[in-house]
A and B are shown apart, each in its own frame.
Chain A
């Protein structure tokens, strides 16, 4: 099985979010970048396929040279090779077009992408890859088994889950549950050494214009003061929620 895992290079979850250039650009100053958590869950599931069922795992990122350490980390976790499409992401659609091109030319059986990235939260890349390549797609996956050409996928829905049957080639949008938090792997020294020797191919982008343009960023207004309620005065809490906040 040939697996492609899409890796988004995102600010660490504890990052302070600031903007520069008159609030038109995300300020990367002092920000640590990580593999997008949903993508890391997907990569870990790919490693499971590699070890249990045999698979060749390629990781791909659409980005500029600064994202290469993130791809090397994915190689250190155990991916076999990496591709970087040398393109500055403009929006989700433009990234999906680059990835769709990699999918079409690479002949992958399974394409795994995080349901959403934690930076722009677009939630569109996996679905758009599927739409652009016309292959089967299941989103919000929390489980997948592959047997021959068939896949059984568990998908989270609002208020529950459902099981679907589909066939390869397949694109899945994944999240926690596809593997457990405790399954995540921290690269060891050997993995890091080996990652240096694994192939990282840089591809030139296909032409694509962006459908959307980020105009300006704003930060949320500072929060008003909290009202404290004593433990022996919970009637007051009920009263505040009813009469002041009007939420009950």
Chain B
């Protein structure tokens, strides 16, 4: 009956989002009066999970799962859910979890709700709040099936620490041969991804050209942030598509979003609105972004950003 949570790792190390989904699963378990079981796949050190409410860990070690494969991972999660007789399965909103979630839902004949931002508001009928219309609205959704799959938005629920330790059990699900094989992975290992970032520094057309991104990257570096951009910037080829954020790009739900030379078009704002604190730097005080932001600087990015970098460096040096 325990709530099952898939706690992801990367190169054997648990990701931050794993602790957030574990915290969420614990909240659900409390409402249902049950425990939390986490499934980990090829994770070296699972000891931290207990501190986020996990009671038991099903630890899978399997060479076949060394590279991510949605169908195989979905099979493992499904079998874990069956073993635990779980009625609720909690997943994150990482690209991989969003990939496998619908497969898990079909295999368990379970209703799946994505972009969940709060603990269930009701357990009968089981009801959760999610974002819809790209953050322009919230939707309370009831799940009618016996088994329920919840995809939790990044950075919405947060981390909740508990006093506890989890028992570890090794688990060997049966994995069938997959028809999709990874040939190569191309990932900058030294960069923070937008999905995992606490802070995102984003540049728009106001930056005039790709040659001016040095200061954006430097600002991101100082803050340990990911870099992003508006849609025209990626359409013009100034920055890679993977950095395009907004309604038709990636969603951003960071703690801090800094928009530089971005006007704040409705499609842009929709995608980044879930971020907690927004800063805008723009020459035009009438730019719509000023209506959506928490802090604003009316000024030329080419003057403001280099100064801000210096100030932040001084601040970081003091810390």
Q: Tell me whether A231 is interfacial, beta carbon within 8 Å.
A: yes
Contact B101 A226 (CB under 8 A): no
B interface: dominant SS:
mixed
Contact B110 A235 (CB under 8 A): no
The residues of B that contact A182 with a CB separation of less than 8 Å are 235
Q: Tell me whether B49 is interfacial, beta carbon within 8 Å.
A: no
Say which residue of B127, B184, B295 sits within 8 Å of A241 (CB atoms): B295
Say which residue of B71, B144, B185, B267 sits within 8 Å of A14 (CB atoms): B267
A interface: dominant SS:
mixed
- B interface bracket (residues with beta carbon within 8 Å of A): 35 or more
Contact A234 B191 (CB under 8 A): no
Q: Which residue of A lies closest to B106 (CB)?
A: A131
Contact A128 B142 (CB under 8 A): no
Contact B256 A247 (CB under 8 A): yes
Q: Tell me whether B141 is interfacial, beta carbon within 8 Å.
A: yes
Task: Compute how far the CA of A180 lies from the CA of B185 in the bound complex, rounded to whole angstroms.
Answer: 22
The residues of B that contact A65 with a CB separation of less than 8 Å are none
Contact A164 B304 (CB under 8 A): no
Stretch of A1-9, A72-80, A117-125, A189-197 with 4 or more beta carbons under 8 angstroms from chain B: A117-125
Most A C-beta atoms less than 10 A away, residue of B137, B186, B276, B307: B137
Task: Compute how far the CA of A177 lies from the CA of B300 in the bound complex, rounded to whole angstroms.
Answer: 31
Say which residue of B70, B134, B255, B293 sits within 8 Å of A139 (CB atoms): B70
CB-CB under 8 A for A93 and B141, given A123-B98, A128-B105, A231-B299: no
Contact B140 A215 (CB under 8 A): yes
Contact A227 B296 (CB under 8 A): yes
Q: Tell me whether B139 is interfacial, beta carbon within 8 Å.
A: yes
Interface flags for B275-319 (1: CB within 8 Å of A; 0: not) read 011010000000000111111111110011001100110010000
The residues of B that contact A248 with a CB separation of less than 8 Å are 199, 223, 256, 312, 315
Contact A159 B107 (CB under 8 A): no
The residues of B that contact A156 with a CB separation of less than 8 Å are 95, 241-242
Q: Tell me whether A240 is interfacial, beta carbon within 8 Å.
A: yes
Shortest beta-carbon distance, A50 to chain B, in Å?
Answer: 24
Stretch of B30-38, B40-48, B111-119 with 4 or more beta carbons under 8 angstroms from chain A: B111-119
Contact B297 A212 (CB under 8 A): no
Q: Which residue of A lies closest to B97 (CB)?
A: A158
Q: Which residue of A lies closest to B99 (CB)?
A: A139
B100-148 residues at the A interface, CB under 8 angstroms: 100-103, 105-107, 110-115, 125, 127, 129, 131-145
Q: Tell me whether B183 is interfacial, beta carbon within 8 Å.
A: yes
- A interface bracket (residues with beta carbon within 8 Å of B): 35 or more
Say which residue of B94, B179, B235, B266 sits within 8 Å of A158 (CB atoms): B94
Contact B181 A164 (CB under 8 A): yes
The residues of A that contact B165 with a CB separation of less than 8 Å are none
Task: Compute how far the CA of A182 lies from the CA of B234 in the bound complex, rounded to whole angstroms.
Answer: 11
Shortest beta-carbon distance, A38 to chain B, in Å?
Answer: 7
Stretch of A53-61, A104-112, A198-206, A217-225 with 4 or more beta carbons under 8 angstroms from chain B: A217-225
**Leading 5 A-B pairs by shortest Cβ distance:** A127-B102, A159-B193, A131-B106, A160-B187, A211-B111
Interface residues of B (CB under 8 A from A): 68, 70-71, 94-96, 98-103, 105-107, 110-115, 125, 127, 129, 131-145, 151, 179-188, 191-196, 198-199, 223, 231, 234-235, 241-242, 244, 247-249, 255-256, 266-267, 270, 273, 276-277, 279, 290-300, 303-304, 307-308, 311-312, 315
- Apart from A160-B188, A163-B182, A237-B308, 7 more pairs, CB < 8 Å: A120-B133, A127-B106, A160-B187, A176-B234, A212-B141, A212-B144, A226-B291
